[in-house]
Structure 1
Amino acid sequence: MTITSVRTDVAALARDVVKIYGRGETAVRALDGATLSIPAGRFTAVMGPSGSGKSTLMHAMAGLDTVDEGQVLIGDTDLGRLSERQRTLLRRDHVGFVFQSFNLVPTLTAAENIALPLTLAGRRADQAWIDEIVAMLGLGDRLRHRPAEMSGGQRQRVAVARALAARPRIVFADEPTGNLDSRAGEALLGFLRHAAHELGQTIVMVTHDANAAAYADQVAHFADGRVAGVTRNEEK
């Protein structure tokens, strides 16, 4: 399976997506005809209360979960037509992830954690690109440190660098500021916005925090398994 590296105006698309967990009277309709377009090279926030379906949509758009109805595309690739192995390769080669819990390997240094996706894929690192990311995130003096030797904000910045290292088509961030104090959280959001505006990276962030969503170029408001509306933010 190959995906063109040329970025189109739409990086990802969910169209009339339905996801149901369970059966019969206990069935939960987590997604109920959700439709969302993610513009390439921009920062999109998906905002909504707990249980609204926003994380379920992210998992579907990232290829982490299948859907029962509707269509999900990354670029021109229809995820519903891929085998499990093909979805795994797509995630490895074209999707980056940033999670609330950092998910760093404790025995590896920051530099090794950043390079890990490339190492696992057997790909040569673009050192100039990684150096630019490291400089942008202010990690130059932390590359030899292991996660236990870094603050929460530093660990999350390493996680962001890891997600960007392979130049993925799209990066999904699930409540990335949830374990950070306000100062570190604001810095991280600024980095994500910079990655979109200055590096051309497509970012999708799931959040319940209106202050965090304000850093995004557009905010998709989620309710009852659907996108209730999309608003665009003014330049910060």
Structure 2
Amino acid sequence: MLSTPTVRTTAPPVGPSGAHPATRPPAASATGLVKAYGRGATEVRALDGATLVIPAGRLTAVMGPSGSGKSTLMHAMAGLDSVDEGSIRLGETEVSQLSERQRTLMRRQRIGFVFQSFNLVPSLTAQENITLPLRLARRTADAAWLEELVSTLGLGDRLTHRPGELSGGQQQRVAVARALVTRPDIVFADEPTGNLDSRHGHVLLAFLQKAARDLGQTVVMVTHDPTAASYADQVVFLADGRVAGELPDPTVPTVLAAMAGLEQPATRAES
């Protein structure tokens, strides 16, 4: 468990404006997740009983040492990968009971993704990339919402440009707009600032924070960066495939202290 006293390990998370989770259902939850690779002596458990709740309308950062299971947890909760044991719920939907086709439809209709590598379609313009999820779902764009996204992210003069004509920061902002354009139940962001400089990273993190606090969007962000984590409403820490603690209202110093508490046991074991 985390050694720093600022980390909450038992109290439940709160929703926007301090609302108790009893009055606002969680956006997603995971219970007892197990994901193993290999068998016998070569078995590695990427997840080993991970349990957590993602509150609605909040920005949650997920952190942990290398190999702690961060990306595996995100992929499992997003329906991109299956688990060997445990339960995953997206709202009232039990994800583990869905067929592959049903998971595909769920991802298309209810989940947004922001990847470190942007994952834009090179042959499409910025606007076409943004609206691609709507076309795949055969839905019509909400013109007002699309305009708000484009304006807030500063993409108004870049909509006709293709990814190769955009900077890294502009490409990532297009990817964020694409993730939000369908108004998904939850957005998963995997190291979203990993390929950005500090200035563009700040712009992106500020927008994700605004999306949660002002627009009510639920965002889960996997990151190794304490500065990025400080933009979140709470940080969930993983160690050895399990949730080791939660930190509400994080700051860079409290995140660093919590991470140091996670890494100390491993350091002692290696010495």
TM tier, smaller: over 0.9
Distance in 2 between the 1:116 and 1:172 partners?
17
Aligned residues: 230
2:61, 2:220 within 8 Å by CA — same for their partners in 1? Answer: yes
Runs of 4+ in 1 over 4 A off after TM superposition: none
1:70-120 per-position Cα deviation (integer Å, ceiling 9, x unaligned): 100000100111111100100000000000000000111110000000011
Distance in 2 between the 1:213 and 1:222 partners?
14
Q: Where does the alignment leave 5 or more consecutive residues of structure 1 unmatched?
A: 1-6
SS at match of 1:112: helix
The amino acid across from 1:101 in the alignment is: S
2:33, 2:84 within 8 Å by CA — same for their partners in 1? Answer: yes
The structure 1 residue matched to 2:97, chosen from 71, 76, 81, is 81
Distance in 1 between the 2:143 and 2:25 partners?
27
Distance in 2 between the 1:23 and 1:86 partners?
29
Number of the residue aligned with 2:221:
205
Distance in 2 between the 1:26 and 1:12 partners?
32
- The structure number with the bigger radius of gyration is 2
Residues 34, 234 of structure 1: CA spacing in aligned structure 2 closer, same or farther, 3 A cutoff? closer
1:12, 1:39 within 8 Å by CA — same for their partners in 2? Answer: yes
How far apart are 1:127 and its partner, in Å? 1.1
The amino acid across from 1:75 in the alignment is: G
The structure 2 residue matched to 1:26, chosen from 33, 42, 67, is 42
Number of the residue aligned with 1:124:
140
Q: Which has the higher strand share?
A: 1
Are 2:155 and 1:135 equivalent residues in the alignment?
A: no
SS at match of 2:27: strand
How far apart are 1:9 and its partner, in Å? 2.5
| RMSD across aligned positions (CA) | 1.4
Per the normalisation by structure 2, the TM-score is: 0.83
2:232, 2:250 within 8 Å by CA — same for their partners in 1? Answer: no
1:45, 1:204 within 8 Å by CA — same for their partners in 2? Answer: yes
SS at match of 2:214: helix
Distance in 1 between the 2:172 and 2:25 partners?
29
Distance in 1 between the 2:186 and 2:76 partners?
13
1:1-50 per-position Cα deviation (integer Å, ceiling 9, x unaligned): xxxxxx95300001111111111111110001101100001100001122
The amino acid across from 2:141 in the alignment is: A
Distance in 2 between the 1:149 and 1:185 partners?
19
Number of the residue aligned with 1:179:
195
Are 2:214 and 1:195 equivalent residues in the alignment?
A: no
1:8, 1:75 within 8 Å by CA — same for their partners in 2? Answer: no
Number of the residue aligned with 1:3:
none
Number of the residue aligned with 1:11:
27
SS at match of 2:208: helix
Q: Where does the alignment leave 5 or more consecutive residues of structure 2 unmatched?
A: 1-22, 252-271
SS at match of 1:10: coil
Are 2:135 and 1:95 equivalent residues in the alignment?
A: no
